[in-house]
């Protein structure tokens, strides 16, 4: 039987979490746990994570680095400091095209109520992951909001999560 109090975070990442939470039927003898594969890889035991609503996988810094077009972010994964959330490097080039039947809303036409709504979407990456869309009617105007990568601006020095508003074309 596995001593769950001694299982460290890395072991949890490697799949012993199931062994610690499993209850054995009465009368079953304690068998040795299966061997632990200590190789680092993005396999079926990898833990999913997300950064700003962008999906990723908890892997070592070195494994993320060899993927080339990926970036690692600390603080989103259990385990040692070198296990981080690895996501595709954010790029505005990855944004989908303008939704069919819509056009980009002119900033001067965005009301304070629309801004409040967009900020609520921005601050909820679980409900609205990257590229999620939702719509709401303001007066008689249907507004479509989509979570997208935004280029650096006066508030953010890097490509960052943002909400773009669209109106019917």
Q: What is the pLDDT along the chain (169 residues), one digit of tens a residue?
A: 333 333 332 222 222 222 333 333 333 333 333 333 333 444 557 899 999 889 999 999 999 999 989 999 999 999 999 999 999 999 999 999 999 999 999 999 999 999 999 999 999 999 999 999 999 999 999 999 999 999 999 988 889 999 999 999 9
Q: How confident is the model at residue 33, as a pLDDT?
A: 37
Taking alpha carbons only, the member of 141, 94, 99 closest to residue 117 is: 141
Q: How confident is the model at residue 96, as a pLDDT?
A: 95
CA atoms within 13 A on the CB side of 86: 20
Q: Which two tokens stand for residue 103?
A: 């056009």
Q: Which two tokens stand for residue 90?
A: 């954010």
Q: How confident is the model at residue 117, as a pLDDT?
A: 98
Q: How confident is the model at residue 32, as a pLDDT?
A: 39
What pTM did the predictor assign?
0.65
Q: How confident is the model at residue 44, as a pLDDT?
A: 59
Q: How confident is the model at residue 15, as a pLDDT?
A: 29
DSSP the chain: ---GGG--HHHIIIIIHHHHH--PPTTPPP-PPPPP------STTPPEEEETTEEEEEEEHHHHHTTSSEEEETTSSSSSTTEEEEEEPP-GGGSPPPPTTEEEPPGGG--HHHHHHHHHHHT-TTTS-TT-EEEEEETTEEEEEEEEEE---SS-SS-EEEEEEEEE-
């Amino acid at each position: 039987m596995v001593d769950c109090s001694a299982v460290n975070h890395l072991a949890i990442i490697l799949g012993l979490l199931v062994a610690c939470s499993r209850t054995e039927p009465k009368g079953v003898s304690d068998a040795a746990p299966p061997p632990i594969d200590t190789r680092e890889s993005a396999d079926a035991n990898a833990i999913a994570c997300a950064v700003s609503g962008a999906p990723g996988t908890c892997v070592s810094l070195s494994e993320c680095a060899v993927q080339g077009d990926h970036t690692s972010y600390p603080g989103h994964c259990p385990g040692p400091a070198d296990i981080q959330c690895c996501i595709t490097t954010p790029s505005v080039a990855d944004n989908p095209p303008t939704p069919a039947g819509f056009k980009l809303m002119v900033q001067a036409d965005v009301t304070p109520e629309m801004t409040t709504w967009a900020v609520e979407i921005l601050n909820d990456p679980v409900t609205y992951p990257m590229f999620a869309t939702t719509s709401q009617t303001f007066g008689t105007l249907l507004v479509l909001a989509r979570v997208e990568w935004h280029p650096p601006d006066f508030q953010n020095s890097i490509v960052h999560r943002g909400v773009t508003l669209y109106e019917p074309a």
